[in-house]
Amino acid sequence: MSISALQKARYAYKPKLPAILCSSIGDIAIELGEATEAVADREELRKIFRLSYGKPLATFTNGKNSTINRELKVGVILSGGQAPGGHNVIAGLFDGLKKGNPHSVLYGLKGGPSGLIENKTIVLTDAIIDEYRNTGGFDIIGSGRTKIETPEQFAASLKTAKDLGLNAVVVIGGDDSNTNAALLAEYFLSQGSDIQVIGCPKTIDGDLKNEYIETSFGFDTACKTYSELIGNLGRDTNSAKKYWHFIKLMGRAASHIALECALQTQPNVCLVSEEVEAKGLSLGQVVDQICGSIVRRAENGDNFGIVLIPEGLVEFIPEIKKLIEELNDAIAKGGEEFTEISSFIDQMYWFSRRISEPSYSILQTLPPDIARQFLMDRDPHGNVQVSRIETEKLLVGMVEKKLHALKENKLYRGKFSALTHFFGYEGRCAFPSNFDADYCYSLGYSAFVLIASGLTGYLSSVRNLTAPADQWVAGGVPLTMMMNLEQRHGSKKPVIKKALVELDGAPFKTFDEARDTWAVKTCFLFPGAIQYFGPPEVCDEPTKTLRLEHQ
Ligand code: FBP
């Protein structure tokens, strides 16, 4: 494979580790705290996770660890959407394993959780790992979204793990994938197996976080990549002064990415889904909010601007949320019958008899292309695929109509020309920022220590992330601690609770204080490309979200 000069230079980068993980391997002991409880629905969860519920928090500390030099076989899975840094989690895990015992083996389970179900593996060697250090992507072993849910899939997973002689499985994934990790840990225990399961917090969406998981990996790099592009568009439109750019940003549910990009670039409008839901705004009111900025800027002769739209917005507008829930339930109940209907008109007829009248009439008022996107296949976890709903186009169409009406009433005299963008896939496989390279390597290394210490049902955790890396605090958080019950596929299921944007949190408040000015004035910032080499304040700075949340 021919490689770029940057890739070559990045191979040589040595990720920074928390001080405890720099200790000699036999001197990393584990300290266990008090038993823990789930965030909600504790009684039900205690029954579902009979053998793995309520374990204590684990923190690494200096001390003797008698089990760390065991010869181990571990399987690693990359699960769900790509996030920058995944390769470094694997590299950290690999290096930890080999330091513990050079005879230990790391298997890559290929193509996501299906690699475990179907026993598709590759033995990861020094040569393979070295080719992927500090690089973006999940291509070392591939990823997938298969959910391990049927009794047959659980049994097949255990069979693969036994056939390979695994001591542990590491699942690198987001909230849904780590929910799967928790279920797998419980299943293995229930079958009398001592095969351990450890998760690592991945997702560019930034919504897998809590007191002990300060951020998921990939969020830092993805936001910096999108912010570079948004800044470039800001500069372009401030030069030509003729376009409004409507930019949808990835983040399936939470608006963390949009908010972080807003803090980095200062657009004229940034919608925050959580606020839209809290205020119960209708689609029309969201459009009014955008038009407010367009009209006021036009009064100053500024017929250009930037609007940021979180990918998950539609699911937070109450009437559309209800529509999506009803569609999801109908699809879950209709099963194969629905998948066999191919024409859009027949699908609409099928739904007309299965969802409420108000929801159906909203579906009918959507432009047909957009309505079609609402009916597309759900992901294996039962979620509507919001990345495929062109909300940015829907909003531009509605804004155009509204501005036309305002013009007729002489309330608007500007010109409106809009371009739409969707930044998502562009950022998910970027070269990890120094922050993500360091964080991911530390998460992988910590996953090894958790395995070597005999724990199962834990998520690898590295905290105190706004301090320099040597002051980071490493350990593990019990997966059941983050869980609650939610409606999925038509019934209540245990899932890791998503962390949405908190409207009383520092990142949103900081945005809120500035946004009225940004709506009218041109205050764009141009963050530029991620820098990998140079002064730490340029290369190692974490996201503004992380700084504000931990200031
Ligand atoms: P994860 O939650 O698996 O990390 O994936 C997040 C995400 O990137 C979302 O932002 C986006 O909606 C979705 O994946 C897209 O999924 P796909 O890659 O299957 O198109």
pLDDT at 172 over 90: yes
By C-alpha distance, which of 432, 489, 442, 430 is closest to 469? 442
Q: SS3 for 491?
A: strand
pLDDT in tens, 464-507: 999 999 999 999 999 999 999 998 776 899 999 899 999 999 99
Eight-class DSSP state of 217? B
Confidence of residue 329 (pLDDT cuts 50, 70, 90): confident
pLDDT in tens, 260-276: 999 999 999 999 999 99
pLDDT in tens, 29-70: 999 999 999 999 999 999 999 999 999 999 999 998 888 999
In this prediction, residue 308 carries a pLDDT of 98
CA atoms within 13 A on the CB side of 246: 22
By C-alpha distance, which of 3, 186, 10, 21 is closest to 88? 10
Does any ligand 1 atom lie closer than 6 A to the CB of residue 464?
Answer: no
Dihedral angle sign, alpha carbons of residues 324, 330, 336, 337: negative
Give residue 284 CA to ligand 1 midpoint distance, Å: 27
d(CA 115, CA 146): 9
How confident is the model over 307-317, as a mean pLDDT?
95
Dihedral angle sign, alpha carbons of residues 61, 537, 261, 13: negative
In this prediction, residue 150 carries a pLDDT of 94
d(CA 326, CA 401): 28
Q: Among 6-15, 152-161, 186-195, where is mean pLDDT lowest?
A: 6-15
d(CA 259, CA 452): 39
279-307: string of b/e by CB count within 10 Å (b at 16+)?
eebebeebbeebbebbbbbbeeebbbbbb
**3-state SS string over 423-459?**
ECHHHHCCCCCHHHHHHHHHHHHHHHHHHHCCCCCEE
How confident is the model over 318-339, as a mean pLDDT?
86
Tokens of 350: 């099928």
d(CA 384, CA 389): 9
List Cβ neighbours of 29 (8 Å cut-off, separation of 6 or more). 60, 61, 62, 63, 64, 65
The preferred substitution site among 82, 138, 204, 213 for testing ligand 1, maximizing ligand atoms within 8 Å of CB, is 204
Does any ligand 1 atom lie closer than 6 A to the CB of residue 174?
Answer: yes
Quickly count: other Cβ atoms within 10 Å of residue 84's Cβ.
33
How confident is the model over 117-144, as a mean pLDDT?
97
Eight-class DSSP state of 146? -
In this prediction, residue 205 carries a pLDDT of 97
User: DSSP letter string over 248-262?
Assistant: EE--SS--HHHHHHH
Question: Model-level pTM?
Answer: 0.94
Single-letter amino acid, residue 42? R
In this prediction, residue 436 carries a pLDDT of 98
Does any ligand 1 atom lie closer than 6 A to the CB of residue 378?
Answer: no
Establish whether 139 is a catalytic residue.
Answer: no
Atom of ligand 1 nearest to the CA of 312: 12
d(CA 543, CA 535): 16
Element (H, E) at 267: none
